[in-house]
Amino acid sequence: DAEGLLRIKEENQKHYRRAQRHQEKKEKIQRHNRKLGDLVEKKTYDLKTQYEHLANLRRTHILELTTVIFPIEEVKTSMRDPADVSSESDNAMTSSTVSKLAEARRTTYLSGRWVCDDHNGDTSISITGPWITLPNNGDYSAYYNWVEEKKTTQGPDTEHNNPAYTISAALCYATQLVNTLSLILDVNLPKKLCNRQFCGENLSRHRFTRAVKKLNANILHLCFSQHVNLDLLHPLHTLRNLMYLVSPDTENLGR
């Protein structure tokens, strides 16, 4: 029993010395972790600072791009409210008729159904200049209607002021701007759309609407990535959504 007790005491001493070495290693590892924590905190702060600097650079480039090359702005039209015109021509018109005319003015027949559009007839959105605009309500039927009519009509095309040309040009510029913004913001777009999609050959109704949907999806994706207020966005308002995206009031632009 005495020999066994002596052997146990020797083993306990070995374990005690090993425990001391482990304690020293533990303290060394804790000191190393604290150093790494301080380093990570410093690197995180530096990274955050670099992100802010990069965001400011992106924001500056975007605002310069949309000021010099692709200015987007709201263009007021000179159309008068039909309710006002009708009420002036007929003093006996009832208030219910006036309200019905105002309600009819705020609706648009789009893709086989009536949709409400409070901005219909009031404004349009221009890109690169006031002469290149898109309908505010997202109704681009004038383009493919013109294409279908051109197929049945023979002869040279002399309508240089046709709204189909304006729609095609505006969508072409919008596609170029979106692709450029994706490079500046380093955001991958969900839909692939080349810059020349809307220029060149006349697109059929199916190809045109498909390309417009791709463009609208890319614009909304960029708006989501930059935390644009969702209450301002509409899936059919191509240039209006783009205008909200590149607006100087967008706080997170460049993130």
Average pLDDT, the chain: 81
pLDDT of 162 reads 74
Residue 123 has pLDDT above 80, yes or no: no
Q: Strands of 72-76's sheet, edge to edge? A: 72-76, 123-127, 133-135
232 assigned to some structural domain: yes
- Whole-number pLDDT of residue 81: 45
pLDDT at 218: 95
Mean pLDDT score, 139-147: 81
- Please give the residue that has the higher pLDDT: either 149 or 126: 126
**pLDDT tens-digit profile of 153-196?**
655 555 555 778 888 899 999 999 999 999 999 999 999 998 88
Residues in CB range of 194: below 8 A, 6 or more apart: 175
Instruction: Kindly list the distances between the CA atom of residue 43 and the CA atoms of 5, 37, 39, 169, 232, in Å, as whole numbers in the listed order.
Output: 56, 10, 6, 47, 37
CA–CA dist 120, 103 (Å, integer): 11
Find out whether 67 and 248 touch, Cβ atoms under 8 Å: no
Domain count, the chain: 1
Asked if residue 70 is part of any domain, the answer here is no
Most confidently modeled range among 37-41, 79-83, 202-206: 37-41
Please say if the pLDDT value at position 134 is more than 60.
Answer: yes
Predicted pLDDT at 16: 92
Residue 68: what residue type?
V
Least confident of 116-125, 142-151, 226-235: 116-125
Structure tokens at 139: 């109704």
86 located within any domain: no
Percent over 90 (pLDDT), the chain: 45
Residue 95 maps to a domain: no
Structural domain that includes position 129: 122-246
Let me know if residue 218 belongs to a domain: yes
Residue 167 placed within a domain: yes
If you search the block for the tokens 């510029």, which residue do you land on? 173
Does residue 140 lie within any of the structural domains? yes
- For 74-102, how does the pLDDT look when each residue is reduced to its tens digit (9 = 90+)? 887 654 444 444 444 444 455 566 566 65
pTM: 0.68
Stretch 120-138: mean pLDDT: 79
Q: Pairing state of beta strands 72-76 and 123-127?
A: antiparallel
Check pLDDT > 80 for residue 8. yes
pLDDT at 159: 55
Angle at 210 between CA 207 and CA 212, to 5 degrees: 110
Query: Does 21 fall in a domain?
Result: no
Give the distance, in angstroms, between the CA of residue 80 and the centroid of all CA atoms in the same chain: 32
